[in-house]
């Protein structure tokens, strides 16, 4: 499959064509977010195409896009402190992704075994992301209306950023995508005063699980509770997220690059 036409310019309106495209099996949509472009898909064949388009190793799962706190609560295992942490970022429109286990009841929403293998790590956890940017949020919202999950990865050759420009996704991804939703100006507006070379191209990721994938315990105001939340990837609004970690948890860790 190849892109059906030139990129569709996002004008603030819900891109229904993207949802229509993703409703078909194995489809890929490139869409703008706060930190650049992502590849979106909904099933195993689409995730297979995503890895092939990016020429990326299969050991780095796609993230799960959550269009509401209610969806997050339905999909991921949480405790009251982690939920409050997410809510802080939802209320302030801050991009955040946390590594969490899936709720047992939510596993039935995963469409096939390939999706499960490529959207989770070996511990059965995934990164659940909120407030990733209006163009992609609108698509994820529309998909969730039909109880369809949306998975994503950055739309660029593995290890190479797209610089927040649709032209930066690379010829291979451009040729493979079934639809491209362009919004370079929107991406640039999320980090005013920064250039394509200086702005963040990813969101912050916080692990809320231990080394076996079990949810970290609630701290309830106690000090030195271990295991604790661990910031494993810096990115957009890292300073604000670290402040919120300090407000919510008396103990948390910083281990840049300790990917799941």
* 127-140: pLDDT as tens digits: 999 999 999 999 99
pLDDT at 5: 56
What's the pLDDT band for 158 if we cut at 50, 70, 90? low
Residue range 230-250, pLDDT digits in tens: 999 999 999 999 999 999 999
Residue 97, in any domain of the structure: yes
Expressed as residue numbers, the domain containing 199 is 8-254
Is 1's pLDDT higher than 50?
no
Helices (H), the chain: 16-22, 44-54, 69-75, 80-91, 113-119, 134-145, 171-176, 184-189, 238-248
Nearest to 42 by CA among 69, 24, 56: 24
The answer as to whether 260 is a domain residue is: no
Of all residues in the chain, the percent with pLDDT exceeding 70 is 96
Residue 107 has pLDDT above 70, yes or no: yes
Q: Is residue 2 part of a domain?
A: no
Domain count, the chain: 1
With respect to residue 259, please indicate whether it lies within any of the assigned structural domains.
no
CATH number for 104: 3.90.870.10
Is residue 29 one of the residues assigned to a domain?
yes
Chain centroid to Cα 114, Å, comes to 18
Give this prediction's pTM: 0.95
- pLDDT tens, residue by residue, 30-86: 999 999 999 999 999 999 999 888 876 777 788 999 999 999 999 999 999 999 999
> At residue 16, does pLDDT exceed 50?
yes
pLDDT, residue 235, reads 96
């Amino acid at each position: 499959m190849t892109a059906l036409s030139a990129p569709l310019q996002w004008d603030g309106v819900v891109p229904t064509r993207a949802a229509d495209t993703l409703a078909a099996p194995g489809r890929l949509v490139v869409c703008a977010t706060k930190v650049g472009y992502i590849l979106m898909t909904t099933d195993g064949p689409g995730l297979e195409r995503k890895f092939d388009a990016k020429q990326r190793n299969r050991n780095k799962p796609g993230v799960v896009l959550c269009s509401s706190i209610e969806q997050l609560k339905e999909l991921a295992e949480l405790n009251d402190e982690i939920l409050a942490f997410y809510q802080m970022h939802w209320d302030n429109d801050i991009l955040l992704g946390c590594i969490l286990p899936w709720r047992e009841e939510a596993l039935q929403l995963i469409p096939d075994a390939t999706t499960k293998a490529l959207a989770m790590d070996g511990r059965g956890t995934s990164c659940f992301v909120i407030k990733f940017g209006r163009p992609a949020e609108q698509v994820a919202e529309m998909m969730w209306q039909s109880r369809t999950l949306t998975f994503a990865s950055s739309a660029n050759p593995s290890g190479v950023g797209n610089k927040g420009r649709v032209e930066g996704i690379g010829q291979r991804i451009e040729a493979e995508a079934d639809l491209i939703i362009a919004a370079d100006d929107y991406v640039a507006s999320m980090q005013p005063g920064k250039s394509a070379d200086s702005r963040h191209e990813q969101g912050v990721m916080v692990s809320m699980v231990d080394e076996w994938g079990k949810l970290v315990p609630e701290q309830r105001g106690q000090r030195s509770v271990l295991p604790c939340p661990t910031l494993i990837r810096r990115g957009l609004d890292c300073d604000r997220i670290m402040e919120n970690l300090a407000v919510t948890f008396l103990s948390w860790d910083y281990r840049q690059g300790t990917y799941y």
